[in-house]
Amino acid sequence: MSQDRLQRFTFTGQPVRGAHVRLPESHRAVLACHAYPEALKPLLGEALAAVVLLSATLKFEGKLSLQIQGEGALRLLLVQCNEVQQVRALAQWQDPVTSSDLTQLLTNGQLALTIEPAQGQRYQGIVPLEGPSLAACLEAYFQQSEQLPTRLYLAADGHEAAGMLLQALPAAGPDTEGSFQHLSTLADTLKPEELLNLPAETLLHRLYHQDPLEVYPVTGVSFRCQCSRERCLGALATVDFQELQQMLEHDGEIAMNCEFCNHTYRFGPADIQGLFPDPASPTQH
């Protein structure tokens, strides 16, 4: 198993669940894909940790996306996690990026969470991006759209990325608020370096040795892009045959770049011919 691990837990007798994640390998793999500005690296790591933690609260097959969009040095940040905790990320920015602070990075920002189940309806919730940190913005999101008290602790330094989530269970009883307050007050004492460096077991013991909790089997997390040559060909098959021919004549090939992992797929005349076996009616495909 990779070093990247997700640990879910629930408190015994307190209607609160939690999750802890450390993602050194995935964080580094994401950063290796593009020449990201130094100042953006911690935010990418925090967003990766956040999307994995949020995936731990869902029972679904499909894809969860966390997206930040706005005006300023940071245009777009998108991180995705599927039901087996495979993650990928991308950012679009405009140089120079001089601050890691969300409020400096973009204005008129929006934060969107999208669930795309393998089967069934796509769900998207959007809130204005208000708050000093990604964790604060996500907490506000859960307050507004889910009415679920949620706390997130995120840390990343360009090498390590880690996080912890606490969330009141849906339809919990009258003692929920007290429990949630108690458990999050303890977690508020966490320092970023503890999040980044301590294994889940040590960290949970340090915070909650007086609050019995049940831990679930550890889940591995990995960086894996969902792009493929077949998917690119599928996209090309929706383009007009004549247009593709013109591109081939102009460049000798058609190159498609994946914005997530930066891999380039190249297609020649034979690939394009293969997509349109009957050029008399190419738009039928």
Nearer to Zn ion, 50 or 232 (CB): 232
Q: Which of residues 52-81 bind Zn ion (CB under 5 A)?
A: none
Residues 232-241: contacts with CB under 8 Å, at least 24 apart: 232/256, 232/265, 232/267, 233/267, 233/271, 233/275, 236/267, 236/272, 236/275, 237/275, 237/276, 237/285, 240/282, 240/283, 241/272, 241/276, 241/279, 241/282, 241/283
Q: Pick from 260, 265, 267, 276 the residue near Zn ion by CB under 5 A.
A: 260
Least Cβ distance, residue 237 to Zn ion (angstroms): 19
50 binds Zn ion (CB under 5 A): no
Q: How far is the CB of 91 from Zn ion (least distance, A)?
A: 14
Nearer to Zn ion, 223 or 260 (CB): 260
Q: Which is nearer to Zn ion, 144 or 257 (CB)?
A: 257
261 binds Zn ion (CB under 5 A): yes
CB count in 10 Å sphere of residue 251: 10
Three-state secondary-structure class, residue 93:
strand
Residues 23, 162 contacting (CB under 8 angstroms):
yes
Shortest distance in whole angstroms from residue 262 CB to Zn ion: 7
Tell me how far apart the alpha carbons of residues 118 and 75 are, in angstroms, rounded to a whole number. Answer: 28
Which helix H or strand E contains 87, and what residues bound it? strand 86-93
- Only one residue has tokens 């990766």, namely 48
Residue selected from 187, 207, 225, 272 as contacting Zn ion according to rule CB under 5 A: 225
In the bound state with Zn ion, the residue whose beta carbon lies nearer, of 137 and 261, is 261
Nearer to Zn ion, 77 or 203 (CB): 77
* Options 258, 267, 271, 272; binder of Zn ion; rule CB under 5 A: 258
Binding Zn ion by CB under 5 A: which of 47, 152, 227, 236?
227
Cα 193 to Cα 214: distance, rounded to the nearest angstrom: 25
Q: What is the DSSP letter of 169?
A: P
Q: Which is nearer to Zn ion, 47 or 166 (CB)?
A: 47
Report, in Å, the least distance between residue 113 CB and Zn ion. Answer: 22
Closest separation between CB of residue 151 and Zn ion, Å? Answer: 33
- Which residues are at the interface with Zn ion (CB under 5 A)? 225, 227, 258, 260-261
